[in-house]
Chains A and B, each alone.
Chain A
């Protein structure tokens, strides 16, 4: 599944995630103006953060060195669910370029992670 299709799919489950108390945020190395066009084109109901310095991506170990156009460094496709204390409750990273979780699977995993809430 392409990244754009993935984002559209996530947009479709945004309301359901909100009901679960989960805010959705995209992160990529794209500058804000590129992401603004993506948000507008796909009418995404969630913001996209511009990690142009790759700081957060690197911090989480999600840097794909030389994986982007012209050998630039980009993010690996990944999902990270965090709670209000910034603890990671569920995470997923793609192992193949075409592998993405479907939005239904994402919802399923988020629900499962929240159900295991020790608090």
Chain B
């Protein structure tokens, strides 16, 4: 009597599905990094969350179909990773609250060198107009 492939042969693709889901969860932060230049995607980290949810769904589905221990372990690992990534994200992306910035209402005069090596003073820059200073984290 032939009742389809042997249980092992049926379970194999399910375990592979679980592994693929785990891989997606692990790779999801990298996908977020690829959207650096798209403001909305970068700010919300949407590519990371969507990929992570999809990866988790894959492993959970695989574990529901394939009751073997190793598939369930992969699904459990995936769930733990996704659960931990939420507080991890909140902590790791948080910038410190600046001290004194909120109360600053005047910029002291300064002399700094510009990118061409020229000495630049604030008073020289302002020169009767307005000035927008843009502080950024630097190039690294």
Contact = CB atoms under 8 A, between A and B. Distances in A.
Given A1-B37, A22-B131, A80-B135, A86 B96 contact: no
**B43, B101, B125, B132: residue with the most chain A Cβ atoms closer than 10 Å:** B132
Contacts of A23: 125-127, 129-132
A67 B42 CA distance: 19
Contact of B137 (A49, A67, A83): A67
A75 B138 contact: yes
A100 B43 CA distance: 8
A91 B107 CA distance: 11
**B100, B109, B123: residue with the most chain A Cβ atoms closer than 10 Å:** B100
A84 B129 contact: yes
Contact of B112 (A20, A56, A60, A114): A56
Contacts of B45: 98
Contacts, number: 215
A76 to B, nearest CB: 6
B98 to A, nearest CB: 5
Contacts of B113: 32, 49-50
Interface of B (DSSP majority class): loop
B114 A3 contact: no
Interface residues of A, number: 73
A118 to B, nearest CB: 13
B69 interface: no
23 contacts: A1-B38, A20-B130, A22-B129, A26-B136, A32-B116, A36-B115, A50-B114, A56-B112, A57-B135, A62-B98, A77-B136, A78-B98, A80-B107, A80-B135, A81-B131, A81-B133, A82-B107, A82-B126, A97-B93, A98-B42, A100-B43, A102-B39, A110-B132
B132 A24 contact: yes
Nearest to B98: A61
